[in-house]
Structure formats: C-alpha cells, structure tokens
Structure 1
C-alpha cells in the first residue's frame, strides 16, 4: 500500500519518541490508530460505493442489451443485409398492400345488411279447362328375337 519497510518504521518511531516524548507517545499512537481506522473505513466505503456504481452501470448495459434483443426484428435485419440501399426492393416493386382473400370476403358478407323482405306471395291463378279423357295403359310389347350373328372365318367357337 504505502510500501514502507521496517527500517523506515524504525526511523519514524525514533523521531516520534524524540519529538513527542515517552510520556505522550502511547496517547499519540492511539490517536494515530483511530485516524488510520477512520481512513480505512472511508476507503472501504468509497470502494463499496464505486463497486455498486460499476454493478449498476453493468446492469444498465445489460438492460439496454435486453431491450435491443426484444426489439430485434429478424425480417428487417435480413432485408438490411440483403438489400441495404433498397434498390432490389424498388426494382421488383413489391406491393405491400394486403389483398382480400375468400375469408375476408366472407367476413364482409357477414357485415353486409340483410336484404329487404320480399312482398307476400300472390296466389297463382288456375285455368279451368275441359277434362281430357285418359287413355287406357298400353301393355309393353314382347321383345323381338335377336338375329343370329354371322360367323367369322376364324371363329374358334365353331371348332369345338
């Protein structure tokens, strides 16, 4: 700390003995001890305050890093990496407007007002005509016999 060796301490003790005197030396050493203790306490308190400030500064840095991580948008970062000046985006003319889908159309139909009620149905007029005589049912005709098919020259069924 102060880098004082035994030889320097011996010189200081001899000078103090000669200047203060042997009678007041113990009281002077006690007073010096109190002052050294107070100085060490102040140094310890100062060091702990500095350490706490460093921890708070580190915590503040960590808070900033966490906030940056929360607000990190991968899509934006990817776009900045691939197309930093926006030339590719402008060349392709990407349309960012959302297009309606079938689901959106169904939702809009649900929101549309109901059609007005139809007027009550009018009775359909009936025509009165002379009754038509119904003919007796006709029995179905017997099926005609099928004509035999001509035999081909290479017919294997005829060889038997």
Structure 2
C-alpha cells in the first residue's frame, strides 16, 4: 500500500515534534491513530464486500455448470419407468435411471435344516 521507510518515518516524527510541539504531540498522534483506524475499517468493509460479490459470482457459475452437466447426464441416461404394483424386477435389473441395484425377493428363503443327532460329532469324554 504505502511504502514508508524508517528514515522517512523518523523525519516526519521530527517535523511533527518541531511544528506541533511536545505538549500537543500525544493528542495529535491519538487523532491520527483514530483516523487511520477508521480508514482501515472502511477498507476492510470494502474488501469484504468485493470478496462476497466474487464468491456469489463463482457460485452462480458453478450452479450453471452443474445444471448443464445434470441435463447432459439425464439426456444420456433417461430414467427407467418403475414396475407396476406387485410386479418384481429381475435380479440385477437397472432401477431409478439406470443405477444397477440388486433387488431382494419378497419371500424369505427357507432356513437350513438342523443336523440330526447322528450327524453331530460325539461329545468329548471326561476321565
């Protein structure tokens, strides 16, 4: 922003000391400090407003790209019609726009039969 070398700052301080005087110098420095703080606050507010506008523009651009990509995908892969009530899809058939998902049958599979006592290994004998 403003490039002030230490020697230039020392020269300004000496001139201020001579012109303003040592009695009024602290009050003048406080006044200058308040104005510098206000200027920084205004600059910060302006910068944050510009940054917000840039972010909004980037968001709008990304939304346009996403919408265009979504439309392209929907053209390439149109949604599949859902089956009628009570009708099942075959296993591995695409559902909901071509996404391959496995469908489970509505009836439960029978449980494995229990082993008969003759099929079980003998229990260990204790001495």
**TM-score, structure 2 as length reference:** 0.55
Q: Distance in 2 between matches of 1:55 and 1:45?
A: 15
Unaligned 5+ runs, structure 2: 78-127
Runs of 4+ in 1 over 4 A off after TM superposition: none
For the aligned residues, what is the CA RMSD? 1.5
1:50 CA drift (Å) = 1.1
Relative contact order (C-alpha < 8 Å, sep 6+): which is higher?
2
* Residues in 2 aligned to 1:18 and 1:69: alpha-carbon distance in whole angstroms: 70
Question: Is 1:38 paired with 2:38?
Answer: yes
For the residues of structure 1 that align with 2:38 and 2:70, how far apart are their CA atoms?
A: 47
Matched residue of 1:71: which SS? helix
Who is 1:8 aligned against?
8
- The residue aligned with 1:71 is 71
Partners of 1:66 and 1:6 in 2: CA distance: 53
Measure the CA separation in 2 of the matches of 1:20 and 1:68: 66
How far is 1:31 from its partner?
A: 0.5
Partner of residue 54, structure 1: 54
User: Which segments of 5 or more consecutive residues in structure 1 lack a partner in the other structure?
Assistant: 76-160
Between the two proteins, the alignment pairs up a number of residues equal to 75
TM-superposed CA distance for 1:26, in Å, is 0.6
What residue in structure 1 maps to residue 25 of structure 2? Answer: 25
